[in-house]
Amino acid sequence: MYKMGSQAYKEVDLETSVSQSSPHQLIVLLFDAALNAIQLAGLYIEKGDIAGKGEAISKAINIIDNGLKSCLDLEKGGEIAENLDELYHYIIQQLVLANLHSDKQKLQLCFDLLDNIAQAWRKIAE
């Protein structure tokens, strides 16, 4: 019962965060969610939880592909948007390989690449 209440609280908290966020803050939330999913996948690999690993990696891929990548404006964004599109594609490929081989090093690579972009994105707000 506690777990259900905790989950409900998290969902309400997330909905509140999303509804009160600027477009810039929404991108930060996407980065945070993808990074958390990648970290969670690493924990599932350590525990030998194949299903959990697969779900966490799928979540990260979905956030990157349908969230971060879809926000890119390739026409107006020029070379930066194109480079980010290619980098997101590369990260997704590496996540698929990490899932297939339960490869924590590939997960770390993906985390580091995505975290680099996220940190730069956060600095924009400053």
Using one digit for the tens of pLDDT, what is the confidence trace for 41-96?
Answer: 999 999 999 999 999 999 999 999 999 999 899 999 999 999 999 999 999 999 99
Residue 53, in any domain of the structure:
yes
SS3 28: helix
Residue 93, in any domain of the structure:
yes
Q: What pLDDT was estimated at residue 12?
A: 41
Give the residue among 69, 73, 96, 109 at the shortest CA–CA distance from 85. Answer: 69
- What is the extent of the structural domain holding 107? 23-123
Q: What is the CATH number of the domain that holds 116?
A: 1.20.120.340
Q: How far is CA 20 from CA 13, 26, 99, 125, in A?
A: 11, 9, 34, 16
Q: What pLDDT was estimated at residue 126?
A: 66
Written as six digits, the tokens of 8 are 């409900």
Count how many domains the chain has: 1
Using one digit for the tens of pLDDT, what is the confidence trace for 111-122?
Answer: 999 999 999 999
pTM of the model: 0.83
